[in-house]
């Protein structure tokens, strides 16, 4: 059987599983549609949250980013896990006690204001739609690569699959399909990592393999890696990074995590307040299974790639282009891996031609520029091929990458549809809508969101990483501060919260658009995106915490000079602070 048929079979089988579960778990009432009737236990909920959380960015992209830079990109590892501590300690138990379905509902009730609620709906839709565009684009690329179709065709296939299980199944369908997706993606990620770790270090656990001895050279793996990359003019893998931006970027990802509506909504679905705390812990354990493996995948893949290109070590001759391995040929057809024989010797010289200190060595060796361009995003997908693992592992990693992208897209779509049908239509525009009508509105909203995301995904507004950074920065700057203040302060009033959200949202948008283009249209940026232009050296992706700080400060000052919230709101805050009395969800 050829690789194409095998990919098709494995990806097809995994999809049949998800769709089967969605149909089996078809939602009946609105309560089931939104929150699975709060019958999901913490371990299952943790697993589903993990699948929801780990998108194409975590699965496909992150290890490649770490491989390319080394220590400096540890920010992704800390940033995308540390937010769960904030969720468990500062938000999840209180929002579960509050006992409603959506984030804007909490903001509307706590700040006793339809305006605050509408601003929250706007923030939620902007955050979720930008995020889902990235996921649909990622899923489309993965489909097109493994099914060997056009990118646009891959995108429409992705849209159809998401539509079937998200629209028909609602939350319950999503919860159980996401448990299945988690299992597929974690198995797909771990198997190649285990084989590669065994090959390089003899240790079957990649987490430990990273800090073990490299069998071939009898040196610690990371020292060996530092040595080979510096031999080629790259910065050492374990070298120090830019502290200010590492600090702010990590903080942006952490606060952003705790402010993402599709993650927060997960904690509305557990039976008890105590379970909301446990759920965050379980989610992080399941996430950590991938995140502890990712740095090993990155480091080992970097070593394997250099070893492939310089079979006798970086001091010796590079491999002949005609003798390159098959995986390079495969990926060359996608355009994500490129070779250009600049010095005409028929060999692939891969080194850092931007390092001034290395130019002399390169000249002595007769090199006239780096000849190999590898896109970081292919690293995880190509990993089994680089390590020469069997064909079914290659098919499995395709299924895993798609599971990661699709499950996140589905969770985001649920957050968008409930904000529109519940917060906008049911509670604002048309309060007398029937339960059946509301369910229909939720499904139409979901289908509409899929359509918009797919159409925008055909011509994405920028690189996926920029789009995702905007979603995190916006969540950090708009949603997280008001949720936290709503619980921990009785003094913050409607005017303060509304002003805070607007200041956080607008300041972050303006900072990002200034450097990355207005509404992400290329070429419309006011200033060139280079460190010299950045305010106090803060990169656009790191701006989230500054927006959050402005949000906090505005809300505090405005609240202090205006009237305190009414007594019933202060009583509400008192009541969400204690677990007792948390019944099942109240509809209104």
The site string for another protein over 167-206 (x = CB under 8 A, - otherwise) reads ----------------------------------------
Number of residues that bind another protein (CB under 8 A): 51
Q: How far is the CB of 575 from another protein (least distance, A)?
A: 7
Task: CB nearer to another protein: give 59 or 520.
Answer: 59
Question: Which region among 239-247, 410-418, 506-514, 531-539 touches another protein (by CB under 8 A)?
Answer: 239-247
Indicate the SS3 state at residue 258: helix
Query: Can residue 391 be called a binding residue for another protein (CB under 8 A)?
Result: no
Q: How far is the CB of 574 from another protein (least distance, A)?
A: 7
In the bound state with another protein, the residue whose beta carbon lies nearer, of 206 and 261, is 206
In 297-315, which positions are buried (b, 16+ CB within 10 angstroms) versus exposed (e)?
A: bbbbbbbbbbbbbbeeebe
CB atoms within 10 A of CB 376: 21
491 binds another protein (CB under 8 A): no
Contact by Cβ (8 Å): 269, 52:
no
Residue 5: exposure state from Cβ atoms within 10 A (0-12, 13-18, ≥19): exposed
Instruction: Write each residue from 51 to 90 as x if it is in contact with another protein (CB under 8 A), else as -, in one continuous string.
Output: --------------------x--x--xx--xx-xx--xxx
Instruction: Supply φ then ψ for residue 110, to 5 degrees.
Output: -65, -35
The residues, ordered by sequence, that sit 6+ positions from 516 with a Cβ below 8 Å of its Cβ are 462, 466, 470, 525, 529, 540
Q: Please identify which residue in 64, 108, 170, 295 interacts with another protein, judged by CB under 8 A.
A: 295
Helix ranges restricted to H, 148-293: 151-201, 206-209, 221-231, 243-259, 261-264, 273-291
d(CA 49, CA 52): 5
What is the closest distance, in whole angstroms, from the C-beta atom of residue 276 to another protein in the complex? 9
Footprint (CB under 8 A) of another protein, residues 205-224: 207, 210-212, 219-224
Q: Which of 216, 323, 435, 574 binds another protein (CB under 8 A)?
A: 574
Phi, psi (rounded to 5 degrees) for 521: -80, 120
Q: Least distance (Å) from another protein to the CB of residue 144?
A: 32
Q: How far, in Å, CA of 168 to CA of 146, rounded? A: 27
Site string for another protein, 15-34 (x = CB under 8 A): --------------------
Question: Considering beta carbons, is residue 174 or 222 the nearer one to another protein?
Answer: 222
Q: Which residues contact 276 (CB under 8 A, 6 or more apart)?
A: 88, 92, 93, 95, 96, 267, 270
3-state secondary structure of 462: coil
**Cβ at position 116, least distance to another protein in Å:** 24
428 binds another protein (CB under 8 A): no
By three-state DSSP, how is residue 79 classified? Answer: helix
CA-CA distance, 239 to 223, in Å (whole number)?
11
User: Least distance (Å) from another protein to the CB of residue 118?
Assistant: 31
Only one of the segments 33-41, 50-58, 242-250, 465-473 lies at the binding site for another protein (rule: CB under 8 A); that segment is: 242-250
Report how far residue 106's alpha carbon sits from residue 569's, in angstroms, rounded to the nearest whole number.
12
Q: Does 156 bind another protein (CB under 8 A)?
A: no
Which residues contact another protein by CB under 8 A?
A: 71, 74, 77-78, 81-82, 84-85, 88-90, 93, 207, 210-212, 219-224, 238, 240-241, 243, 246-247, 250-251, 272-274, 277-278, 280-281, 284-285, 288, 291-292, 295, 574-575, 577-582
């Amino acid at each position: 059987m050829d690789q194409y048929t095998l990919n098709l079979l494995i990806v097809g089988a995994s999809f049949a599983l998800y769709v089967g579960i969605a149909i089996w778990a078809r939602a009946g009432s609105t309560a089931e549609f939104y929150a699975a009737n709060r019958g999901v236990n913490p371990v299952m909920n943790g697993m589903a949250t993990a699948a929801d959380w780990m998108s194409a960015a975590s699965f496909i992209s992150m290890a490649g980013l770490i491989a390319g830079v080394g220590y400096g990109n540890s920010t992704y590892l800390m940033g995308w896990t540390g937010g769960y501590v904030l969720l468990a300690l500062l938000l999840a138990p209180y929002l579960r006690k509050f006992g409603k379905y959506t984030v804007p509902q909490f903001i509307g009730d706590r700040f006793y204001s339809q305006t605050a609620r509408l601003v929250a709906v706007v923030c939620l839709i902007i955050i979720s739609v930008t995020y889902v565009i990235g996921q649909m684009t990622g899923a489309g690329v993965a489909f097109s690569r493994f099914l060997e179709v056009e990118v646009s065709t891959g995108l429409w296939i992705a849209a159809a699959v998401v539509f079937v299980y998200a629209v028909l199944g609602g939350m319950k369908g999503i919860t159980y399909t996401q448990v299945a997706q988690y299992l597929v993606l974690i198995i797909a990620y771990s198997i190649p990592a285990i084989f590669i770790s065994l090959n390089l270090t003899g240790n079957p656990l990649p987490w430990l393999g990273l800090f073990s001895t490299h069998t071939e050279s009898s040196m610690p793996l990371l020292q060996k890696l530092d040595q080979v990359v510096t031999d080629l003019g790259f910065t050492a893998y374990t070298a120090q990074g830019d502290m200010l931006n590492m600090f702010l970027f990590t903080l942006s990802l952490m606060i952003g995590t705790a402010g993402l509506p599709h993650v927060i909504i997960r904690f509305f679905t557990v039976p008890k307040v105590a379970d909301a705390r446990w759920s965050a812990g379980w989610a992080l354990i399941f996430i950590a299974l991938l995140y502890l493996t990712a740095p090993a995948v990155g480091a080992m893949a970097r070593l394997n790639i250099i070893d492939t290109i310089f079979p006798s070590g970086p001091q010796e001759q590079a491999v002949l282009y005609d003798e390159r391995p098959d995986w390079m040929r495969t990926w060359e057809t996608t355009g994500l891996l490129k070779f250009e024989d600049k010095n005409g010797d028929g060999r692939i010289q891969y080194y850092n031609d931007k390092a001034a200190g290395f130019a002399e060595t390169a000249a002595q060796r007769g090199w006239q520029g780096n000849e190999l361009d590898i896109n970081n995003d292919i690293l995880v997908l190509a990993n089994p091929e680089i390590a020469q693992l069997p064909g079914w592992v290659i098919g499995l990693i395709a299924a895993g990458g798609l599971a990661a992208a699709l499950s996140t897209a589905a969770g985001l779509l649920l957050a968008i549809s409930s904000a529109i049908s519940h917060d906008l239509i049911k509670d604002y525009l048309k309060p007398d809508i029937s339960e059946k009508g509301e369910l229909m509105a939720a499904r139409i909203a979901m289908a509409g969101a899929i359509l918009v995301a797919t159409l925008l995904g055909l011509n994405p507004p920028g690189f996926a990483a920029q789009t995702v950074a905007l979603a995190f920065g916006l969540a950090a700057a708009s949603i997280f501060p008001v949720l936290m203040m709503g619980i921990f302060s009785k003094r913050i009033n409607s005017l303060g919260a509304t002003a805070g959200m607007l200041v956080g949202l607008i300041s972050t948008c303006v900072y990002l658009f200034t450097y990355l283009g207005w509404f992400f249209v290329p070429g419309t940026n006011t200033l060139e995106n280079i460190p010299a232009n950045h305010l106090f050296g803060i990169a656009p992706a790191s701006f989230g915490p500054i927006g959050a700080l402005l949000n906090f400060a505005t809300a505090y000052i405005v609240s202090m000079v205006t009237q305190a919230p009414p007594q019933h709101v202060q009583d509400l805050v008192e009541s969400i602070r204690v677990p007792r009395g948390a019944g099942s969800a109240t509809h209104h």
